[in-house]
Chains A and B, each alone.
Chain A
């Protein structure tokens, strides 16, 4: 299974995302922001970092990169796409997911081991988890406060599209403790915490993040 990992100028966790794909048994494929296509991959990860310095708004400039048109098309066609942190911001800016991200409520960058609840274990990226399962993965961002209007939030809740919720203290002021969401079809998932940093007990707080990558590989194997 070939999983593309996009590198934008300023992407930082692209190598770690590729490593996580490898640990889970997939083949990572390097995608470059200026590419016009996604090189026939089976799924795409938009990694964390500060694309284009996150100047203007987090993810805004990357959301308009050439490769994103191909990613948007592929996502609309059902290809699994995962946006992690900056990747989540890019998905929102590219309108693949609703809502937007603001500066953290306390205005500081926060790096910590974060407890999350998997609220939807039926997406392409969460099928390896149990519904309601709690996991711990790193969280690190300064623009992680998820907002959307009430109607959108109600809709997300009603349709089970809140994929992850922060457990315990809300780290950034996200509305309704939302840590990640999915599109209606369940193939596009975005979240602020970093599952790719939790695939090896030596370097991560847990190995709880591995399930994201095994989920998508599993799903594709049975597709």
Chain B
């Protein structure tokens, strides 16, 4: 038996009907505002719609006031074709090509169901890129987990990695990079961020909006089921029908095969020019897609909700609106193109339903079997949600934390101890080889991957003829950010920028995923505000605008928040990918140069973390002008063929960079500690703005001149060759022993 349908008419007549707004996550004043906007109580369907669209996740209500900085402070860039605010930003890369890229989080679902949570995270970000009219060409996956030896990590990490691989591999998108970082703060809050890069021609950019009165609204792809509507089943008061599943799941299962077909189908629809725009369905499903399409277009839309193809016929209208079933897209199609549109979806066996059309009423009206259950101004749903100026305050403990400098920690002294420290760090979870993870990802598919893990940045070719390509790197250091959120965000930016430049590409744009604890904690809110300020200022200095990103809040267990973790992705352009710089030493006799200045900087360092379990002091100093200069040298040197290999210095300092550069091709190196510097500081400090470079004798002079012209500090510290990593007068480590240390950690932990 079904209760009377809650139509707008019923709602107008029953103002006192009790509604479960609190259970749906709304605050009382938010519910009151909805009533104000509508001039009556919302229908159940409207309530469902507002509650998801006004959630933190969809409305950015706590972060919005801060994120504005990215737009307001965006450096001028001729390359930016589409800026923040769309599904993803679009950047000109030359020769008529444009690139779009974006990073998103799927943290909580990946803890509940690691495989499916991570898989659908990849699926969602790929659809964002596709909605811009671009062909997705690569993915990346920055990950954070609890301690490697925690039993739960052994459940979560293998599942997440298998899910990312399972989905991405099946879609045929090469995985070109990412991160795997461990810290106790992520134990019950793993971070699963996913980045996708897409490519398109300038003329093919599509913005998702519903304009053109009379144009059809078409829903295509997978059928709509009860996925991810956990909360909406509270609206079961709508129905007393007890045959329907009692508890709706809040986790979705993905179908990568469907998504692969959907990609090809959408690209064919775009290229046949039979679709005006396509919007992906992600969080908040049809609620989000209809209200966003309508408010970005002419403002009106009429939908007959019963036309939505269902997988589960027991779904109520409110549940259909909120369902987060994956692999669905919504298209806006001119009536004269409808037949051609349907022919293409039929060719790909993609189920399609015309569910409505664009109107000029300025209202989003949704009917259920002829009765109106939603009648709203779509802007009030999609854009004019609540905005909070949450209180923020530098936490009381921040001073103590910064005062707890690592300077008094015992340090290794002498060759034997330094050698042991180098091996200990090379084997530490955060620095050990990630190939146990990355070997589960296809990096070859599409045949354009020029660099992937374990290189500095992922590099993919876009155009066979010219060799045009892009480089992308993601970085983020939660420990640095905890010590100083403003600097931490800039350090994440600096590292990703440096990684891209080290591979020979010119950095042009930024995307970011801001993973933090609860915004209701003023200390966390301060971390967030500072990180945004740091990143916006940093992007201004480096001339790389933020083109889009994602915020993930409430990552905390009880009162304890995760390390504040802004993950920053930088995109760079290579005019010819044949000029990219790989990181491994190859040629005996090449000189090794260290660029940049090494200071005694151990706050937040990997050494303090691994050896002493210490976090305190200040993170390494940021100097973005130096980063830019270093970048210019590395890019020019790559373009002119002056260097054979390069590796940026970051976590673990010079020692770790040497480990990775020698192990890459099994070619050793011999270095000497320059006079005037403590060997421990030389090897393990994490000073910024540094890179290691291998230079052939043929180009040595020109390279040194290049550095000198730019006045950038550079030191010849050694030479490539041999079967060991040797530090003069201190120690030798055989590469076999080094490899065992570096490569055994993950298999030992996860091949139980």
Contact = CB atoms under 8 A, between A and B. Distances in A.
Complex contact flag A–B (Cβ < 8 Å): yes
Interface of A: 9-10, 12-13, 15-16, 19, 48-50, 52-55, 106, 108-112, 138, 140, 142, 194, 196-197, 200, 202-204
Contacts of B444: 111, 138, 140, 194, 197, 203-204
B261 A10 contact: yes
A109 B447 contact: no
B257 A109 contact: no
- Top 3 A-B residue pairs of the complex, sorted by shortest distance between their CB atoms: A53-B257, A12-B172, A16-B447
A111 B165 CA distance: 10
Given A10-B257, A10-B261, A50-B170, A140 B446 contact: no
B727 to A, nearest CB: 31
Contact of A202 (B166, B450, B751): B450
A111 B440 contact: yes
A184 to B, nearest CB: 32
B255 interface: yes
Interface of B: 162, 165-166, 169-172, 255-258, 260-261, 348-349, 438-450, 461, 577-578, 751
B348 A203 contact: no
B461 A9 contact: no
A128 B6 CA distance: 73
B655 to A, nearest CB: 27
Nearest to B170: A50
Contacts of B446: 12, 15-16
B165 A16 contact: no
A13 B445 contact: yes
B449 A203 contact: yes
A208 B143 CA distance: 35
Contacts of B577: 202
Contacts of B449: 203
A111 B444 CA distance: 9
Given A9-B348, A16-B445, A202-B461, A109 B162 contact: yes
A82 B268 CA distance: 28
B447 A197 contact: yes
B443 to A, nearest CB: 6
Contacts of A197: 444, 447
A203 B162 contact: no
A49 B447 CA distance: 13
A140 B438 CA distance: 12
A80 B449 CA distance: 29
A48 B257 CA distance: 14
Nearest to A55: B257
Contacts of A204: 444
A118 to B, nearest CB: 20
A111 B441 contact: yes
A109 B348 contact: no
Contact of B447 (A15, A52, A54): A15
Contact of B260 (A10, A15, A106, A112): A10
Contacts of A138: 444
Which of B171, B258, B444, B461 neighbours the largest number of chain A CB atoms within 10 Å of its CB? B444
B443 A111 contact: yes
Contacts of B255: 53
B166 A109 contact: yes
A154 B666 CA distance: 39
A106 B169 CA distance: 17
A15 B137 CA distance: 13
Given A52-B257, A109-B440, A140 B169 contact: yes
A159 to B, nearest CB: 32
B450 A9 contact: no
Nearest to B467: A202
Contact of B172 (A49, A109, A111): A49
Given A140-B169, A197-B447, A203-B450, A50 B257 contact: yes
Contact of B445 (A10, A12, A142): A12
Given A9-B261, A16-B446, A53-B170, A112 B439 contact: yes
A111 B442 contact: yes
A36 to B, nearest CB: 16
Nearest to A198: B444
A92 B261 CA distance: 24
Contacts of A142: 169
A77 B449 CA distance: 38
A111 B169 CA distance: 10
A110 B437 CA distance: 10
A50 B447 contact: no
Given A49-B172, A53-B256, A197-B447, A202 B578 contact: yes
Contacts of B461: 202-203
18 contacts: A10-B260, A12-B445, A12-B446, A48-B445, A50-B169, A52-B257, A53-B170, A54-B257, A106-B751, A108-B162, A108-B440, A109-B440, A109-B441, A110-B439, A112-B439, A140-B445, A203-B447, A203-B448
Contacts of A16: 445-447
A118 B258 CA distance: 37
A194 B444 CA distance: 9
Contact of A140 (B166, B260, B261, B442): B442
* Interface hub of A15, A50, A138, A203 (most chain B Cβ within 10 A): A203
Contact of B349 (A9, A15, A54, A55): A9
A115 to B, nearest CB: 15
A52 B257 CA distance: 6
Given A13-B445, A19-B447, A111-B441, 19 more contacts: A9-B348, A10-B170, A16-B446, A50-B257, A52-B257, A53-B170, A54-B257, A55-B257, A108-B162, A109-B169, A109-B440, A109-B441, A111-B440, A200-B447, A202-B461, A202-B577, A202-B578, A203-B448, A203-B449
Which of A15, A55, A106 is most buried by chain B, counting CB atoms within 10 A of its CB? A15
Contacts of B751: 106
Nearest to B169: A109
Nearest to A204: B444
Contacts of A203: 444, 447-450, 461
A204 B450 CA distance: 8
A108 B461 CA distance: 28
Contacts of A13: 172, 445, 447
Nearest to B452: A111
Contacts of B442: 109, 111, 140
A21 B723 CA distance: 40
Contacts of B172: 12-13, 49
A135 B174 CA distance: 23
Contacts of B261: 9-10
A172 to B, nearest CB: 12
Contacts of B450: 202-203
A195 B747 CA distance: 28
A163 B258 CA distance: 35
Contacts of B448: 203
Nearest to B258: A53
A19 B448 CA distance: 11
Nearest to A106: B751
The residue in A12, A111, A196 that gathers the most chain B C-beta atoms within 10 A of its C-beta is: A111
A13 to B, nearest CB: 6
Nearest to A18: B447
A189 B172 CA distance: 24
B163 to A, nearest CB: 11
A207 B489 CA distance: 42
Given A12-B172, A203-B450, A110 B257 contact: no
B170 A111 contact: no
A13 B174 CA distance: 11
Contacts of A49: 172
Nearest to B261: A9
Nearest to B171: A12
B636 to A, nearest CB: 21
B126 to A, nearest CB: 14
Contacts of B171: 12
Contacts of B258: 53
Nearest to A11: B172
Contacts of A106: 751
Nearest to B158: A108
